[in-house]
Amino acid sequence: MKNLVILGAGTAGTTVGNMLRKKLPSDWSLKIIDPDTDHLFQPDLIFIPFEMQTPEKTIRPRKGTLGKGIEWIQRPVQRVDADKNQVILDGDERVPYDLLVIATGSHIRPEETPGLLGDEWQKSIFDFYTLEGSVALRDALKKFEGGRVVVNTVEMPIKCPVAPLEITFLAESFFTEKGIRDNVELTYVTPLDGAFTKPIAAKALGGILDDRGIKVEAEYNASEVDVDRKVLRSYDEREIPFDMLITIPTHMGAGFIEESGLGDDLAFIPTDRHSLIADNHDNIFVLGDATDLPTSKAGSVAHFQAEVVVDNVLHLIQGESPKAVFDGHANCFIESGYGRAMLIDFNYEQEPLPGVYPLPTVGPFPLLKESKFNHWGKLMFRHVYWHALLPGHPIPVPNHMSMVGKKRPAKLTADAELAS
């Protein structure tokens, strides 16, 4: 009997497991290792603070998400011994593998920034990347009557790179609807050189923060929080006072990746951008947020990568070379407040463009533009996630990014032609 072992039963690991369980040859066993009892639908974490979703509806028992034929080992991983092809659990129990799939995601590390986890944590400083953080922020917002609200991304890369913008838009919309907008000074603080850094998106959406009275503090690398004074400080000693700090802390890969020597300085695993095989180990696949790839850490990426990993696992088992190729494809809804959302679709090579998705002319989802349709699409996706994506059923969107329906703005097309 040969063993395929998946580490992590989030979006990526669960999808790969459920796709593979029907396709693996009968002499292969399939195990998933994950210590958590529940599966969390992470896209809803941005809605909980504004009571647009309840915590109860964002989680489901993990047991029901893993199909027949998958053995779930509910234990934490201590280490991977890649030389011996073994996963080591607590108590030095060893799980051997012939092929390993690592899908253990990206996790916030507030302890990397001095002051974040001090006395103000979950009193006036909040994260929204965990269920606890999101609920604590909800409770604080209920009582909030006004003051300086600062949304800060400590450093890149982060999971769901558009989430800081979404939480800012949703907060602005929430304060307006609550009738306290005039009492709130809202500041978006980013290590990048603006809220929008891609030329076409910046042109299409650049004015949106200004229109809503949201200040932007750019190229800001947060070094610490002065808890007593409630001030965020940067390495170049810019100080930003706050009454409520919504932080997007440093993200890192799972702790055991550091222990195993498999990751980079943020414990993300160097991975071949096309085959999704680990750079240093030809029997280890990596997908989802756990990779070091230059695409977004996002659920859509995990889904597109899952199909590539499944194909390449089957190629390797049949003694063939890994033929399936991941192109960096990501698509993300971006909640923009007031019941509307935007949509972006891009890959390694192509930045987000305007147009419609997924079908030409009829869409129905407009790209790089606010619309109620997109908000509706984001909410409908909950159903697709639990009933189609996670169980590994086919979803009617192309795996590779398509240019169909997209339009390059005229001026940039002319520039590109001149350059070529």
Cα 34 to chain centroid, rounded: 19
Q: Kindly report the three-state secondary structure assignment for every residue of 301-366.
A: HHHHHHHHHHHHHHHHHCCCCCCCCCCCCEEEEEEEECCEEEEEEECCCCCCCCEEEEECCCEEEE
> Do 316 and 134 form a contact (C-beta atoms < 8 A)?
no
Number of residues that bind another protein (CB under 8 A): 41
Whichever of 116 and 266 has its CB closer to another protein, that residue is 266
* CA gap 379, 48 in Å, rounded: 13
Nearest alpha carbon to residue 83 among 217, 243, 220, 284: 284
Closer CB to another protein, 138 or 297, in the complex: 297
Tell whether residue 221 is a contact of another protein (CB under 8 A). Answer: yes
d(CA 390, CA 14): 6
Exactly one of 55, 118, 147, 191 binds another protein (CB under 8 A); that residue is 191
Q: Which of 46, 99, 103, 205 binds another protein (CB under 8 A)?
A: 205
- Round to whole Å and give the CA distance between 7 and 217: 39
Give CA angle at 278 (36, 94), nearest 5°: 50
Is the Cβ–Cβ distance between 239 and 233 less than 8 Å? Answer: yes
| Closest CB to another protein among residues 56, 265 | 265
| Sole binder of another protein in the list 20, 103, 266, 367 (CB under 8 A) | 266
What is the distance between the alpha carbons of residues 288 and 298, in angstroms, rounded to a whole number?
7
Query: Smallest gap, in angstroms, from Cβ of residue 264 to another protein?
Result: 8
Near another protein by CB under 8 A, which window of 260-268, 283-291, 303-311, 388-396? Answer: 260-268
Under rule CB under 8 A, residue 414 binds another protein: no
Is 373 near another protein (CB under 8 A)? no
Residue 28, CA distances (Å) to 31, 34, 46, 83, 391 in order: 10, 20, 39, 21, 20
Distances (CA, A) of 17 to 68, 211, 327: 10, 45, 22
Which of 181, 215, 273, 274 touches another protein by CB under 8 A? 273
Task: Please tell me whether residue 350 binds another protein under the rule CB under 8 A.
Answer: no
Of residues 306, 334, 341, 401, which one binds another protein by CB under 8 A?
A: 334
CA-to-CA distance for 273 and 5, rounded, in angstroms?
21
Of positions 265, 321, 362, 417, contacts another protein by CB under 8 A = 265
371 binds another protein (CB under 8 A): no
Q: With binding defined as CB under 8 A, does residue 111 bind another protein?
A: no
Q: Give the separation between CA 258 and CA 92, rounded to whole angstroms.
A: 17
> CB 162 → another protein: shortest distance, Å?
6
Give dist(CA 152, CA 173) in Å, integer. Answer: 18
* 250 part of the interface to another protein, by CB under 8 A: yes
CA distance 291 to 311: 18
In angstroms, how far is the first alpha carbon of the chain from the final one? 55
Is residue 348 close enough to count as binding another protein by CB under 8 A? yes
Choose one: 130-138, 195-203, 208-216, 394-402; the region binding another protein (CB under 8 A).
195-203
Cβ(273)–Cβ(293) under 8 Å?
yes
- The answer to whether residue 219 forms part of the interface with another protein (CB under 8 A) is yes
Is residue 201 part of the contact set for another protein (CB under 8 A)?
yes
How near is the Cβ of 417 to another protein at its closest, in Å?
A: 12
Q: Is 170 in the site for another protein (CB under 8 A)?
A: no
**Binders of another protein among 123-162, rule CB under 8 A?**
155-157, 161-162
Confirm or reject binding of residue 198 to another protein (CB under 8 A). Answer: yes
CA distances for 380 relative to 53, 357, 358, 373, angstroms: 13, 15, 15, 10
Write the CB contacts of 99 (distance below 8 Å, at least 6 apart in sequence): 2, 3, 4, 5, 283, 284, 285, 313, 316, 317
Binding mask of the shown chain, residues 17 to 46, with x at each position contacting another protein by CB under 8 A: ------------------------------
Q: Which stretch binds another protein (CB under 8 A): 26-34, 46-54, 172-180, 197-205?
A: 197-205
Using the rule CB under 8 A, is 263 a contact of another protein? no
* Site residues (vs another protein, CB under 8 A): 155-157, 161-162, 165, 190-193, 196-198, 201, 205, 219, 221, 223, 235-236, 250, 264-266, 270, 273, 292-296, 330, 332, 334, 344, 346, 348, 352, 415, 418-419
